[in-house]
Every structure is written in structure tokens, then in C-alpha cells.
Amino acid sequence: MPMGEFESVPAGLEEVLLSLEELAQACAVEVQWVHALVREGLLASCAEEPSGPRFDALALRRLARMRELRRAFEASDELAALVADLLEELDELRARLRRLGAG
């Protein structure tokens, strides 16, 4: 199931760390929603700096997937996070199969 423009990490963003505000802007969502997801443990930062949490490309893809799941299926935050977890696991398994030459 395609999940929008961040199905793969955009070139150049693999190593970039985004602030919460930059992450929200990149996914075209409200900053308050991202705050709520972090507070509820549904979206994790990869680093904490004095200026606030920082998010990597995986968080960007996760947030974009959650946004699309909410829009397409009117999924709750918890359900969107669960499906995002499953999609991440599927991505990892597919990558492992490619490395083994079976995909």
C-alpha cells in the first residue's frame, strides 16, 4: 500500500535531523499533532538537544505514513501507529530478503 511522497526517504535527508517544527512542516501536519504523538509515545525522537527533540528520516517516513492512514482510513492515532509499525517491519523484512538475494 503506497503511503505518499515519503515511501522512500528523499535524497539528502538520510542524515539530516529535523526539529519537531521542521518535521511537522515537512509532512504538512499541525505541530500540535506531532507534539501529541511524541507525548503519547507513538512517535519517537532519535536525539535530544537543548533546543528540543530531533527526528531522523525514519521518523519522517513514519509520520507521513501515519498522516496518510489517518486521511485515507480515518484511523485513530493508535491504529495509525500500529499499522506504521507493521509497515516498518515489512520494509525491514523485504530489505533482508533483498540482501539475501531472494527478492
Residue 44 sits in a domain whose CATH number is: 1.10.1660.10
Instruction: Indicate whether 6 belongs to any domain.
Output: no
Quote the domain boundaries for residue 73. 16-100
Q: Does residue 8 fall inside a structural domain?
A: no
Which pLDDT value is given to residue 9?
A: 59
With respect to residue 79, please indicate whether it lies within any of the assigned structural domains.
Answer: yes
As for how many domains the chain has, the answer is 1
CB neighbour class for 75 (10 Å; exposed up to 12, middle 13-18, buried from 19): middle
User: Is residue 1 one of the residues assigned to a domain?
Assistant: no
Answer whether residue 3 is part of any domain: no
66: in domain: yes
The answer as to whether 5 is a domain residue is: no
- pLDDT at residue 11, rounded to an integer: 58
pLDDT (tens, 9 = 90+) of the chain, 103 residues, equals 444 545 555 556 667 899 999 999 999 999 999 999 999 999 999 999 999 999 999 999 999 999 999 999 999 999 999 999 999 999 999 999 999 986 5
Q: Tell me, what's the pLDDT at 54? A: 97
pTM of the complete model: 0.83
Q: What is the pLDDT of residue 2?
A: 46
Distances (CA, A) of 11 to 6, 15, 16, 64, 101: 11, 10, 10, 16, 25
With respect to residue 61, please indicate whether it lies within any of the assigned structural domains: yes
